[in-house]
Structure 1
Amino acid sequence: MADPSASVRDGHKDLHSEQGGVRGEHPGRAANPLIRVADIAWLEFDKPDLGKAEAFARAFGFGVAQRTPQQLHLRGTDTGGPCVILRSGARSRFGGVAFRAADEVDVLRLADKTGAAVHALPEVIGGVAVQLTDPSGTPVKVVGGLQQLPAQPVQVPQVANTARAGARINATVRPPRVPARVQRLGHVVLQSTTYLKTLDWYLDTLGMIVSDFLYFPGQRDRGPAMSFIRCDRGATPADHHTLALALGPANRYVHSAYQVSDLDALAAGGEYLLERGYVRSWGIGRHIQGSQLFDYWRDPDGFLVEHFADGDLFDNTLEPGWAPFTATGLAQWGPPVTRDFLDAGPRAAGRQAVSMFHALRDDNEFDLHRLRGLLKVATS
């Protein structure tokens, strides 16, 4: 990759990581990307039972933008397009991610540079798209000119009294035990057997930049094994990560995250989900990379989804931080990370063993040395 721009500043001193990069390490950005996407747009899934999927979605806090016998469009309260598009399918599977270009001109420019065709999106969504595939095989749309769904009423954050300032006088706090209203899609996490190749594709093609790198314990000399990647909006701050990418034994979806208003909404919404028999994977806690409050859940098909609030926002001047990839380093506070969240529990054991066997036989970045590093993560 080309050297990054010189107009970046040290992002690790008293900010978001105890370490920064050293000479020769991955710069975390491309000098001349094809375009710079503005945000994540939506995720696509196939589901065998849209009725069951809708019941969980409503309990999780989504609204429904469109429903047909074959499709379900889920939305947040923010203006914009859908957050998630569910399609009826024979089995539950992840179908890809869409990113929003700054404008339609960027969609046309990307099509010209990649040789991909521009096609019109369905009328209910509007706009145009270019269909690409990242080096891991994940379908990636870049979209522009979308119709804007009108904003919906938000879940108002609770008024807080602090030690020296009383904003709530003669009033109590009684957050209702209702679904935590999803505001928007925040990020998706993907695993790749060709991590570095795939990382560079997102930086070179979509103009994204790395906020933080993680490396396997004792393997910093082998390069990063995970990256938290944000959109480059120049001086306009963006989420700490819109995409997170990790090296692993399979090319797969890991989880996606949806913003809610505050801790009370997140916690009361979690109680609502528990009362209806849904399964918490891990939470409640506060992450280190990104700083967000988190609460992770399994949908009825086993896919991992996250409520989050109060995440970091960075402009494009911060350099990447570097830290070891450890289980204890995933949160500042909260319960210990669960084996279910790490995909290391009985439910995933057989699938993980098969994935590792095939990954070690194939020509990719996941070799025996990297396997040893990954196995150290859960115990470090």
Structure 2
Amino acid sequence: MLPGRIPPVINSPDKIQLNRLSHVYLAHPDLEKFDQFAKDFGFEEAGRDKDIIYYRGWGKDSCAYVAIKSKDGQKRFEGAAFIAQTEEDFIKSSKLKGASEVRPNLGPGGGKIVTIESPSSSKIHVLWGNGERPAPTKVATSTEIHKGAYNTTLQKSRKGEFQRFKLGPAMVHKLGHYGFITSMFDEDIAFYTLNFNFVPSDILYEEVNGEEIDTLTFMHLDHAKEYSDHHTLFLFRAPANFPDKHRLHHCSFEVEDFDTQLLGHDFLLSKGYTPVWGVGRHILGSQIFDYWRDPTGFTIEHYADGDVVNIDNVTGRTKSEGAASMYIWGPVRPEKGVAE
């Protein structure tokens, strides 16, 4: 392995196989202020306790976002939860070095959970036995009055039928991905790829003193021939003198389509919330995006039309061109980026 370079990654049966991403945990000083934003963003409340509110999308996952009352008044990212592929994989995760004791999952769906920290102290939670919601039979929406097929230049599928919409929250389907900035980039990459079935979909690198240094990687969960999202986790190499071991970049939630996203975007604007960047189209992953700053200061994203990959897709490797590597169309990216 060359210094600063991510080595080739191949999944193998001895690694812990994760089925999918479930939810994120974030601590907020003011839960009620975030609660109103969450509903305007497109979440449904799935339950609450004294100091915790659970939110879900309209997909099969029992939970997509856990908002925790901060005990010290500081915002904090507390990691993300993944569903294990099998109980054997869950047991293997509980035996990793530094793993917590197996404990009951107190959130929606129940089951049991274990927590492991990466070298930079980012947390990954592994779930087993978590109940699923019934598979959706139709898209949940707060913006459609009547929606038919798209009429394209060569095919008019919608004849004598009118598209009608209204402003409203862009209803969340599921948690699609999250990512963080890490001051231990190489060590964290090794932790996630050697222990679990994370495989890089795309890597961005920079040239430093004539050497290629990997600075950002988008990773998917490898399921061989079965397709999965282009990335469920991404890691960003922290710049020199970064003050933290790790810091959340953003978490991102899938919505149905472009109309839903734009209507939800305008709805949030009408409520006075602060947009960060978008609406635009990413290059790596292809998602249509819009980023927001929630009342706590975390960055949160809606996305639609993301890529899916499988074992036949080789890892891409691209020289970073700054903002130009991030989007093909949309407003100019903020100079400081989108991270909280």
TM-score scaled by structure 2? 0.89
**Counterpart check, 1:290 vs 2:285:** yes
Question: Is 1:224 matched with 2:214?
Answer: yes
Which residue does 1:125 correspond to in 2? 109
Aligned residue in 2 for 1:201: 191
Q: Which has the higher helix share?
A: 1
SS in 2 for 1:168: coil
Deviation (angstroms), 1:159? 2.2
Mean CA deviation greater in 148-157 or 76-85: 148-157
1:98 aligns with 81
Tell me whether 1:320 sits opposite 2:315 in the alignment: yes
Whether the 8 Å contact between 1:240 and 1:290 is mirrored in structure 2 is yes
Contact in 1 for aligned 2:252/2:303 (Cα 8 Å): yes
Opposite residue 111 of structure 1, the aligned amino acid is S
Report runs of 4+ in structure 1 exceeding 4 Å deviation.
30-33, 217-220
Identity %: 30
Deviation at 1:49, TM superposition (A): 1.5
**Aligned 8 A contact 1:328 1:337 in 2:** no
Find the aligned partners of 1:246 and 1:84 in 2 and give their Cα distance: 22
- The partner residue of 1:273 within 268, 274, 278 is 268
- Greater shift after overlay, 319-328 or 287-296? 319-328
Query: Deviation at 1:255?
Result: 0.3
- Deviation at 1:30? 5.2
The answer for the alignment partner of 1:17 in structure 2 is: none
SS in 1 for 2:211: helix
Report how far residue 303 of structure 1 moved: 0.7
- Aligned-partner Cα distance in 2 for 1:301–1:168: 43
CA separation in 2, counterparts of 1:32 and 1:67?
38
Q: Is the 8 A contact 2:291 2:338 kept in 1?
A: no
SS in 2 for 1:225: strand
Counterpart of 1:14 in structure 2 is none
**Secondary structure of 1:38's partner?**
strand
Deviations 1:163-198 (A, max 9, x none): 111111112222221100000000001110110110
Does the aligned pair in 2 maintain the 1:119–1:128 contact within 8 Å? yes
Looking at structure 1, the residues matched to 74 and 205 of structure 2 have their Cα atoms a distance apart, in angstroms, of 34
Checking the alignment, whether the CA contact within 8 Å between 2:202 and 2:316 is kept in structure 1 is: yes
What does 1:40-189 correspond to in 2, within 5 Å? 40-89=21-70, 90-114=73-97, 116=99, 117-122=101-106, 124-150=108-134, 153-155=139-141, 159-189=149-179
Change (3 A) 1:158 1:245: farther
Letter in 2 for 1:297: W
Equivalences for 1:346-357 in 2 at 5 Å?
none
User: Which structure carries more strand by proportion?
Assistant: 2
Match of 2:205 in 1: 215
SS in 2 for 1:327: helix
Change (3 A) 1:174 1:121: same
Deviations 1:232-288 (A, max 9, x none): 111110000000101012310000110000000000100000000001100011101
> AA paired with 1:148?
E
Kindly tell me: are residues 174 and 139 of structure 1, through their superposed partners in 2, closer, same or farther at Cα, counting changes over 3 Å? Answer: same
1:58-83 Cα deviation digits (max 9, x unpaired): 11000110023311001000012200
Q: Is contact 2:46-2:108 (8 Å) kept?
A: no
Give the secondary structure class of the aligned counterpart of 2:180: strand
| 1:331 pairs with 2:317 | no
Which ranges of structure 2 fall in alignment gaps of 5 or more residues? none
**How has the CA–CA distance of structure 1 residues 216 and 158 changed in structure 2, closer, same or farther, with 3 Å as cutoff?**
farther
Question: Which of 234, 237, 241 is equivalent to 1:247?
Answer: 237
Distance 1:81 1:123, change over 3 A: closer
- Show structure 1 runs of 5+ residues with no match: 2-23, 349-380
Given residue 267 of structure 1, which amino acid in structure 2 is its aligned partner?
Answer: L
Q: Work out the number of aligned pairs and report it.
A: 322
CA distance in 2, matches of 1:220, 1:99: 39
**Equivalent-residue separation in structure 1 for 2:305 and 2:290 (angstroms):** 12
In 2, the alpha carbon distance for the partners of 1:125 and 1:105 equals: 20
Q: Which structure 2 residues correspond to residues 293-312 of structure 1 after superposition, within 5 A?
A: 293-312=288-307
Closer, same or farther: CA 318–219 of 1 in aligned 2, 3 Å: farther
Asked if structure 2 preserves the Cα contact closer than 8 Å seen for 1:34 and 1:110, the reply is no
